[in-house]
């Protein structure tokens, strides 16, 4: 057996600057003993064969041992779920060290009646211990990122699956310490190792190197993420009309000019009907009405009698329509190592998600029509205070959370793929007491130099051969290259803002013409012409064409690009550099 010296557990945990060098010298040989408790009872005296403990990052720890019960001894039949501890007691130079190797529960006992042996497979119960945690406890333990737009709702789901989802955004593993404590450990090694294995510190011909294979080294992740939301849009069409015979004057001046050669006039009801043309909702109107009855309004000695209060010499009104346009922003995001940017060397993984921001209903029907009997300048008021103004019903925090999460998950995928080179060696267990999955190890022995985070430890305590050997495995991260910050692209679907105007609210203005019949000089009636159409009161020739009395507004067609789904794409390439751990073969 190789001689050596124990490693102090406190020193190992002292930080990256504390390096312990294992050396073979004149130190005395170790004497070792396994100690196993089952259900709180010391069963060390019953051990036969070997005790093995296998703990690997990101997985439940497993231990195996066998107990021999002589004839007549009581054999416990119900040991499943009983607590198990495994310690190694090492004695050197009269100094005794007891170190915990495993804490867990008995999971799979197997009884052999002929040999009267109980083979027991144990687990540290990692998954079930996480399953017993609350959501808040999982959050505190694992940290990481999570989004309902990427993963399924938590109700009724496994806490273990939830923890695994959170881990996808971290370059770290969740496992248990030898004492059974849940922990999350980074994948990255320290610049200075916690333990350095120098010349002659490893068992001869025990070193194995497993190099990463091309097919499993993903170097490019392509994400396709669709983000959908609603754009509340509104168009307001403003119309103005004034009778040409008023000379453009208001008040009594315009009235008197019209009265000198009067004509038919539109009514407030006709204005409302005109505002409804093309499916518009009248939301505002102001009227230039004929004056009420007066004795001598124009100073010509002629009285004025008005039996109607809804005839108009002019009017301005607004018709509006609202609709919802679906906007889909697609983000084509690629994360690649240096090799992942070279055609022919790419090993591609693809992922993505699609999520939608739900918008409140009722926007299309939220306009309120004005009353045709309303007084001048009366407006409908705030048509939809609960729905707000036109604009995007997006959710920027949700967008950022989902995209950040997807980028972090892709980053983790690349890092995981580039730490698949593993170096394994063996050493006497008493020489490596205290080394755990949280430590950075470096080896410089038997023609290999390597440094990486310890990712697996396997202890085998063989009572028949007397061997007490531990296999240590480090994961070596390799790749190199430069990294770009994972900055989220700006939204590509945002409308270009216009000064002092909501880009989702369009306003169109139109001044309407007039057609009047009954004069020899009247042009032919044009039914396609918008505006007011009517006739003079004093017709010059009864054979002349009589114009229909109407008031129409021409409704501008909404372009298909403003109604159909609007799509926009943002593309971004992020370079991902991989730290290069020491590896010399």
pLDDT, residue 377, reads 52
How does residue 210 score in pLDDT terms, banded at 50, 70 and 90? Answer: very high
What is the chain's length?
585
Q: How far apart are CA 359 and CA 387, in angstroms?
A: 10
4: tokens are: 């050596």
pLDDT at 112 over 80: yes
pLDDT at 213 over 50: yes
- Interval 492-521 mean pLDDT: 87
Choice among 26-35, 118-127, 149-158, 553-562 with the minimum mean pLDDT: 26-35
Choice among 23-37, 321-335, 482-496, 557-571 with the minimum mean pLDDT: 23-37
- Interval 577-584 mean pLDDT: 95
Please count the other Cβ atoms lying within 10 Å of the Cβ belonging to residue 59. 16
C-alpha R_g of the chain: 42
Which positions ≥6 away from 71 have C-beta within 8 Å? 116
DSSP per-residue letters across 141-162: HH-----TTTS---TT--HHHH
- Interval 387-394 mean pLDDT: 90
pLDDT at 42 over 60: yes
pLDDT tens-digit readout, 143-174: 999 999 999 999 999 999 999 999 999 999 99
pLDDT at 23 over 70: no
pLDDT at 371 over 80: no
Name 569's bridge partners. 330
Residue 524 exposure: Cα atoms within 13 Å on the Cβ side: 2
Cite the beta strand spans of 271-379 per DSSP E.
Answer: 281-289, 312-336, 348-356
Please count the other Cβ atoms lying within 10 Å of the Cβ belonging to residue 179. 11
Strands 566-575, 281-289: pairing is unpaired
pLDDT at 383 over 70: no
The whole-model pTM stands at: 0.85
pLDDT, residue 372, reads 67
Q: How far apart are CA 531 and CA 314, in angstroms?
A: 11
Choice among 24-33, 62-71, 244-253 with the minimum mean pLDDT: 24-33
The two counts, helices (H) then strands (E), for the chain are 8, 27
pLDDT, residue 249, reads 87
CB of 314 closer than 8 Å to CB of 250:
yes
Which among 52, 99, 88 is positioned nearest to 434, based on CA atoms?
A: 99
pLDDT at 379 over 80: no
- Interval 421-433 mean pLDDT: 95
pLDDT tens-digit readout, 436-474: 999 999 999 999 999 999 999 999 999 999 999 999 999
- Interval 116-126 mean pLDDT: 97
pLDDT at 361 over 70: yes
What does the mean pLDDT of the chain come to?
90
Q: What 3-state DSSP class applies to 81?
A: coil
Choice among 66-70, 220-224, 382-386, 487-491 with the minimum mean pLDDT: 382-386
Buried b (16+ CB within 10 A) or exposed e, 278-304: bebbbbbbbbbbbeeeeeebbeeeeeb
How does residue 116 score in pLDDT terms, banded at 50, 70 and 90? Answer: very high
How does residue 24 score in pLDDT terms, banded at 50, 70 and 90? Answer: very low
Q: Which helix (H) or strand (E) holds 409?
A: helix 396-417
Domain boundaries in the chain? 1-124, 130-174
**Residue 247 or residue 575, greater confidence:** 575
Q: How far apart are CA 81 and CA 39, in angstroms?
A: 9
Q: How far apart are CA 363 and CA 349, in angstroms?
A: 41
pLDDT at 71 over 80: yes
């Amino acid at each position: 057996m190789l001689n050596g010296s124990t490693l102090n557990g406190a020193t190992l945990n002292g930080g990256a600057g504390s390096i312990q060098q294992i050396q073979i010298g004149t130190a005395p040989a170790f004497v070792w003993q396994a100690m196993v408790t089952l259900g709180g009872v010391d069963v060390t005296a019953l051990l036969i064969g070997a005790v093995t403990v296998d703990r690997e990052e990101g997985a439940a720890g497993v231990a195996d041992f066998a107990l021999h019960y002589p004839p007549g001894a009581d054999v416990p039949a119900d040991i499943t779920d009983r607590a198990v501890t495994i310690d190694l007691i090492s004695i050197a130079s009269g100094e005794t060290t007891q170190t915990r190797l495993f804490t867990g529960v008995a999971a799979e006992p197997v009884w052999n009646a002929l040999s009267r042996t109980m083979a027991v497979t144990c687990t540290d119960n990692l998954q079930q211990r996480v399953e017993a945690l609350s959501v808040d406890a999982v959050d505190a333990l694992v940290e990481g990122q999570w989004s309902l737009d990427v993963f399924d709702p938590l109700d009724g789901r496994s806490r273990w699956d939830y923890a695994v989802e959170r881990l996808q955004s971290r370059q770290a593993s969740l496992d248990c310490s030898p004492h059974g404590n849940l922990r999350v450990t980074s994948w990255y090694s320290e610049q200075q190792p916690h333990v350095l294995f120098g010349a002659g510190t490893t068992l001869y011909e025990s070193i194995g190197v497993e190099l990463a294979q091309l097919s499993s080294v993903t170097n490019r992740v392509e994400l396709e993420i669709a983000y959908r939301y609603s754009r509340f849009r509104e168009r307001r069409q403003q119309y103005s009309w004034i009778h040409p015979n008023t000379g453009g004057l208001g008040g009594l001046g315009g009235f008197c000019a019209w009265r000198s050669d009067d004509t038919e006039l539109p009514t407030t009801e006709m204005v409302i009907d005109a505002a409804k043309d093309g499916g518009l909702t009248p939301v505002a109107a102001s009227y230039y009405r004929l004056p009420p009855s007066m004795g001598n309004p124009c100073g010509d000695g002629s009285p004025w009698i008005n039996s109607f209060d809804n005839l108009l010499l002019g009017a301005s009104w607004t018709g509006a329509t609202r609709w919802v346009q679906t906007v889909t922003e697609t983000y084509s995001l690629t994360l690649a190592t240096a090799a992942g940017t070279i055609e022919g060397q790419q090993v591609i993984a693809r992922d993505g998600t699609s999520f939608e921001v739900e918008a409140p209903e009722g926007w299309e029907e939220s306009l309120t029509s004005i009353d045709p009997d309303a007084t001048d300048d009366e407006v409908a008021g705030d048509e939809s205070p609960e729905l707000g103004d036109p604009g995007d019903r997006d959710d920027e925090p949700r967008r950022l959370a989902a995209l950040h999460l997807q980028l972090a998950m892709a980053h983790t995928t690349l890092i995981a793929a580039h730490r698949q080179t593993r170096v394994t060696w063996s050493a006497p267990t008493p020489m490596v007491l205290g080394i755990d999955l949280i430590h950075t190890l470096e080896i410089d022995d038997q023609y290999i130099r390597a440094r990486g985070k310890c990712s697996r430890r396997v202890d085998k305590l063989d009572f028949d051969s007397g061997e007490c050997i531990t296999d240590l495995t480090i994961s070596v991260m390799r790749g190199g290259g430069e990294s770009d910050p994972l900055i989220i692209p700006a939204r590509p679907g945002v409308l270009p803002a216009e000064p002092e105007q909501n880009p989702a609210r369009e306003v169109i203005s139109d001044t309407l013409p007039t057609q009047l019949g009954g004069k020899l000089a009247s042009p032919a009636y044009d039914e396609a012409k918008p505006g007011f159409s009517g006739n003079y009161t004093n017709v010059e020739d009864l054979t002349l064409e009589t114009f229909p009395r109407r008031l129409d507004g021409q409704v501008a067609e909404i372009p298909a690009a403003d109604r159909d789904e609007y799509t926009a794409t943002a593309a971004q390439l992020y370079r991902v550099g991989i730290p290069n751990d020491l590896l010399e073969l």
